[in-house]
Amino acid sequence: MQHRPARLTDVALRAGVSPATASRVLNPSNRGVKDANRARVLAAAEELGYTTNIAAQAVARGRTTGVTLLLRVMPDDYANPIVAGVVDAVRNEGLPISLVVAGPQTKDIIDAVHIARGQRTQILMTTGGRRTDDKDLPALVDALQRYEAEGGRVVLISQEGLPFDTVTYANKQGAHDLAVSLVELGYRDFAILAGFANGMTQRDRTQGFLEGLGESGVSLSADRIVTGEFDRDAAYAATGDLLRRGIPIDAIFAVNDAMALGALTFLRDAGARGTGIGVAGFDDIKSLRDVTPALTTVHLPWDDVAAEALDLALSERVDGPRLRVVHGHVVIRESTPRRG
């Protein structure tokens, strides 16, 4: 039952040409073969069910085409739609893409980079937030630099400040604009679910929100900023703690939609909606469609992010690393009705 795969040699033999010629027709890059021969090779390949051995091709060429998208964890329901956007964009370009779920630790990512090195893959994109206290960061940078030194291209998505081409979103500005909008709507007593303190994205969004508040003449005391490694469920609990403290609050800003959903659900469960506490998030993830009340948030144009990333990967890099910033915009929905 075990059947040896057909090799290029087999095809050539059957077509009555040399392996080189067979290679030329099977390889779109190499033109210049008589139509008759071309046809015979194609026919032979078809009959034999030939598939080019990509591994061997990679060895001979020294490099494979295609992009590897490196993820820390499998994107769940609340993850940014960024992954889907990148996959579509790359596929539309006709390039093969494969996702690698490395693991939560930076060490896991580093391992995956080395594997990608070993595969002699062409483009490596990676996404996911960075933490300011990451001790393994230098090692990661080293691995990525090796990857590039050996001929690969690296594109980082969402993590600014590393010496590689990267595309980020304007976290600060988006949160700033959101704050201004909320104040305009009449909110004054804010609380912030700020996520874990060492996350760069979380930090920028918190900071931007505070700046927006400041410009609007609204202040916010430190005890209204709640930090912690929050996912949706933890945000649910944190909202409860917050209210129990008895501080007057008329609006909660969560630094991402997942956490905002947790807050929203808590308020609903607690029957506290009558108190009129507004909730706003950040990202505009798809799951928001099924939620009541509809969540006010900052919409991020994920497809643009993906397009920029791909453009960076495919265009020649002249000088140093390039940075592309994608801007979002505030979307006011029912979760923050006009107040007063």
Give strand ranges (E) for 202-290: 225-227, 251-254, 278-280
Q: Which amino acid is at 166?
A: T
- 7 touches, from a second copy, DNA, none (C-beta below 5 to 8 Å by class): DNA
Q: Which amino acid is at 298?
A: V
**Number of residues engaging a second copy in binding (CB under 8 A):** 53
Helix, strand, coil share of the chain (percent; to 5):
45, 15, 40
* 24, 38, 40, 117: which one binds a second copy (CB under 8 A): 117
Answer whether 304's CB lies under 8 Å from 167's CB. Answer: no
By CB under 8 A, tell whether 311 contacts a second copy: no
Q: How many CB atoms lie within 10 A of CB 255?
A: 29
Residue 317 C-beta: closest distance to DNA, Å: 22
- 20 touches, from a second copy, DNA, none (C-beta below 5 to 8 Å by class): DNA
Residue 114 C-beta: closest distance to a second copy, Å: 5
- Identity of the residue, 49 or 246, whose beta carbon is nearer to a second copy in the bound complex: 49
Answer whether 123's CB lies under 8 Å from 317's CB. Answer: no
Site mask, a second copy, residues 156-195, x = CB under 8 A? Answer: ----------------------------------------
- Identity of the residue, 6 or 162, whose beta carbon is nearer to DNA in the bound complex: 6
Query: How many whole angstroms separate alpha carbon 318 and alpha carbon 171?
Result: 27
By CB under 8 A, tell whether 4 contacts a second copy: yes
SS3 11: helix
Query: How many whole angstroms separate alpha carbon 322 and alpha carbon 331?
Result: 29
Residue 239 C-beta: closest distance to a second copy, Å: 14
DSSP 294: P
Question: Which residues of the chain form contacts with a second copy (CB under 8 A)?
Answer: 1-5, 49, 51-56, 58-59, 64, 68, 74, 76-77, 83-84, 87-88, 91, 96-101, 103, 114-115, 117-120, 146, 149-151, 232, 261, 264-265, 268, 285-287, 289-292
